[in-house]
Structure formats: structure tokens, C-alpha cells
Amino acid sequence: MEVSTCMEDGIVQDWEAATKLWEHGIRECLYADPSDHPVLLTEQIWNPDENRARAMEFFFETLDAPAFYAAKSPVCSLFASGKGSGLVVDVGADVTTVTPVIDGLVLYRPARRTRLAGNHLNERVQAMFSEQGITVTPRYRVLAKEVVDVGEAAQYTARDFAFSVTDTFAAQETARVLEEFKETCVEAEGEDEKEAVFEFPDGYRHRFSAGARRAVANEALFQSGATADDALVAVPDAAADEAGSEPTTKTDVDALTTTDRTTGGFSTRGVVDLIADTIQACDVDVRANLANNIVLTGGTTLLTGFTQRVNQELTQTLSGLKVRIHAPGNTIERRNSAWIGGSILASLGTFHQLWISKKEYEEVGVPKLLEKRFR
């Protein structure tokens, strides 16, 4: 069994897989008839028109949806926090994005994104394990295990398979162990110097120092520098534009859409520097509002001490502004804020005028809809 994702850098790359997932989710998980319900789809702000057109075509032509709309994920996350304006910091798996939103409208020029995110942190954790001579045995390979003392070799019985396990499946199961380690041991900030013991699926137990557990997060998410594999994808010529103006032109969107996937050297900025850069790139009149309404979302922001460290370092960096961070304590809300905000948005009476009906889709056509309704 091969395991793959249909998303890359926050946008759909494998359309066959994506459409099957959408249809399965609606028909088999929600037990809903898509022809009876309008569809609201969340998207990243750099999602190209081609993807939006294909999504619209799929929901109207294949699922026969009565209405459709694509809303920006940062806007929905902001609505989930009960705000119409603010700075949305989304630290997910593939990318970390910092997006300013004013009165429900995205400011494209100051927006920033970087690949210093959850998957990059996984790579750093894996590298730390390798440096300490630790081999990660995925849970599916362990049939039985014995209790051993800390530091002793694992004693376990391996599970036999009558078939070969694919590399992609093994990588996914290994990533599950890395995610568990991140959630229980990795710290972005903290005063406790106690060591933490982590038990691997095969029963091996290892003691990690507080310094090591914090260093891996610092190197992966907070440390700015220039390396070959950590590519910052920023908005070109953002500083040259008039700061803080509200861009909706095709050039502004194209700047965000362009993604350089080469392996050459790139400048990188840690999450705190990225937030500060974004605020400073906005008009001086909105900086205070943005700094006072910073919303954290995404699973990686759930790291122990993440919110405290961001707040502390931003307060020092933006000394002239009052920094206030909104970070939902509920894990589900933090991970799925775009969905929650989208459900709130779609339930508003004023939102009904934004729906694109199937009749309008057939009469107006996709090119004009993209030009008039999604700019």
C-alpha cells in the first residue's frame, strides 16, 4: 500500500486523490447528498486560479452542488476567534504563514510564508535521534515488547508480514512516532530543567535533556539563517510597494503563488522574525491593530511553551507596540480553526450574497467569476 498526500505547500497537487477524498468525506462520512448542500471550500491565499477553477468545476459538474464559494483560510481562522481584523500565524505541516487581515480582507503584499514548519521539525527530531544513535521502530512492526530500564537495548518481538511493506507506509508510521515525541517532549520555551524519558514503540526508553528538547525546536522554527534546504517563499518587492495598501491585483497574487522548489540557498526567517517583518511591512496605521490581535493556529503551535516564547520575543522585538496573542487552548479548535471559522462564515445571513450558484456558474462562466468574485 502506497501512502501519499494530495497537497503540497498548502495547495492541491494530486487532483484525482483530492476529488476522491472530498466526495468520500461528503457521501460516506457526512452521509450527505452534495446536491442538497452549498459547498464552502477554504484555500491558501496563494492558491492559483487554475486550482480554484478545477474545484469549482468538480463541485458543480460532478457533485451537482447548488452553490459554491472559496474562502481564504486566514480569514476563516480569524472569524473562529471572533475577530474581523488581525494577524493570523498558521504553523502547519508544510508551511508557516503569517497573514494580515483587515476587515475580512487579506493584505497580500505584507504576507509571508516559510517551510520552517511541522515537517521540518520532524526532520530535525529525526536528525537528533540519529546523532544519539537511536533507531525509530514504527509501531506496526512490534508484536510484543518487554519492559527495560532507561538506556538498555530494546527487547521486542518483530511482527512478520506475508507481504512487503512500502517505503511510504513505513515513513508515515515513523512520522507518527516523531509526532508523538514532539507532542510530549519537545519544548519551545520553559524553565524546568528536568530530563524527560520517552518510550519508543519497541520498548526502548531514552532520557532527553531539557536543552536538547528545546534546541531542536529553536533550530527548526525560531532560528533565522541562510541554509540550502530551508526555503523562505516571500512576496517579491514587498518593501518597494506602498506599505499597507490593499493589493488585489494579479501581480500581487502571482507573487504569492510563485513557489521556488529548487535546492539552492535561500534566506530564512524564524517564526518570530517573520511576524515582525509582516507587521513592519504594513501601513503604520494598522500595525498596532495587528500586533494587538495575533491569532495562532495550526498543530505545530501546540508545542509546549510556543505561545509564551512568541509573546516574549515579539514584545522585545516590537517594543513600541502592545502585543496580544490569541491562542485557543482547545486542541481541536487550534488544529481546525479554518473549518470552524468557515462554518461561522457560511451561517451568516450576509454571506448568502457571496455564494456562486450553479445557474450563475453556467451563465457567467469560470473566467469572469474568477475575475469578479475572487479578487
Give me the pLDDT at residue 225, please: 60
- Is the model's pLDDT at 87 over the cut of 80? yes
| Residue ranges of domains in the chain | 7-77+338-374, 80-116+267-337, 118-222
Q: Which residues of 1-35 are buried (b: 16+ CB within 10 A; e: fewer)?
A: eeeeebbeebbbeeeeebbeebeeebeeeeeeebe
- Is the model's pLDDT at 15 over the cut of 60? yes
What share of the chain has pLDDT > 90, as a percent?
68
Range in 17-26, 100-109, 127-136, 188-197 with the lowest mean pLDDT: 188-197
Torsion of CA 108, 111, 114, 117, to 10 degrees: -110
| Contacts of residue 15, Cβ cutoff 8 Å, sequence gap at least 6 | 6, 54
Beta strands, E only, 73-224: 86-91, 96-102, 105-106, 112-114, 142-145, 156-158, 196-199, 205-208
| Contacts of residue 322, Cβ cutoff 8 Å, sequence gap at least 6 | 288, 291, 292
| Contacts of residue 195, Cβ cutoff 8 Å, sequence gap at least 6 | 207, 208, 209, 210
Nearest C-alpha neighbor of 132 from the set 220, 204, 222, 187: 204
- Is the model's pLDDT at 230 over the cut of 60? no
Grid cell locating 365: 462562466
Give me the pLDDT at residue 366, please: 92
* CATH class of the domain at 80-116+267-337: alpha beta
Most confident range, picked from 190-194, 254-258, 314-318: 314-318
Q: Which tens digit of pLDDT belongs to each residue from 252-290?
A: 444 443 333 222 222 378 899 999 999 999 999 999 999
**Distance of alpha carbon 19 from alpha carbon 362, whole angstroms:** 21
What share of the chain has pLDDT > 70, as a percent?
88
At 248, the pLDDT band (50, 70, 90 cuts) reads very low
Give me the pLDDT at residue 293, please: 96
Give me the pLDDT at residue 320, please: 87
Grid cell locating 8: 503540497
Mean pLDDT, residues 350-359: 92
Stronger pLDDT, 41 or 243, i.e. the higher one: 41
pTM of the shown model: 0.86
For residue 163, list its beta bridge partners. none
* CATH class of the domain at 7-77+338-374: alpha beta
- Is the model's pLDDT at 94 over the cut of 80? yes
Give me the pLDDT at residue 375, please: 67
For residue 79, the SS3 value is helix
Give me the pLDDT at residue 208, please: 92
* CATH class of the domain at 118-222: alpha beta
Same fold, 7-77+338-374 and 80-116+267-337: yes
Provide the mean pLDDT of the chain.
86
